[in-house]
Structure 1
Amino acid sequence: MNRFNRLVQKQYSLFRLGPIGLIASQLLYRLIRWYYHCDIPYTLNIKGVYFCHKGFGIVINGNSKIGKGTYIQHGVTIGSRDDTNAIDAPIIGENCYIGAKATIIGCVTIGDNAKIGAGAVAVKDVPPGATAVGVPAKIIMK
């Protein structure tokens, strides 16, 4: 596990400790945002998620859910269409692969063991075990 993965997981662990941990997690969040150019909220539980290439440019909505064993490349955006709607966040299953510069937007469910290709824009659900590529993402293999 690289240093970036440990820092991101540490900020969530600190957040759960209480008021002092909250301050420490906010400082760690700002460091990650400044150095790695990432916006990964400290309230997001991403234990078991692996970021490769030190995670440069990753943006994740704080309301999204990401399963264990998911592998996320650099430049990935996982977000909602509207900041005010918490229900509109993506749900990503376990053991998924999300390629570089991929975008997952809206109330989308990515099934377990699914793959999202590099540069794909997923705006519809992807079933378990499927591979989706393109803009908008189309399923090419199940």
Structure 2
Amino acid sequence: MTIGKNAGDAGSAQPNTLAPGWYQVEPGMVFKVIVSSKETGGAYAIVESIAEPGIGSITHRHHYEDEHFFVLEGTAHIVIDGKPIDLYPGQSATLPREVPQVWINRSDKPLRVLAIFSPGGFEQLALEIAEGGGLERFDHSLLRPKYGLEALGPKLDGARE
């Protein structure tokens, strides 16, 4: 991680996303596993993600875990069970399992978040996708039976493909 060196950058920490440990899931979105479920006996996992402007998820539902979304930088626009919310740095939201959710970075700068999954294990899906060459090459038939992730619909309007 590099720390800004002038007054205009005070307090701004920009991870070196080319460093070992950073993975790309799709163009414009990278992540790093901060704490693996293997380290916590499956209790939880923590993942740091950075999404460029216009990048976001498809509408989906987690069947196995709750997701706790904490914004470090940027603005996250999230729709949880049909209810939209904007989260700013220092704010968080819990996206409960079994509830439809979708998010997008609608700001003009990168969105940097910590996602805490409880119980852990979902980070293994992100690693499998990244190590397998990205979403385009991933066997999507594994999403529900192996990882408990159900795709429900498209990305939000304005999302980059």
TM-score bucket of the superposed structures, by smaller chain:
under 0.3
Name the one with the larger helix percent. Answer: 1
TM-score when scaled to structure 1? 0.25
Larger relative contact order (CA 8 Å, sep ≥ 6):
2
Name the one with the larger strand percent. Answer: 2
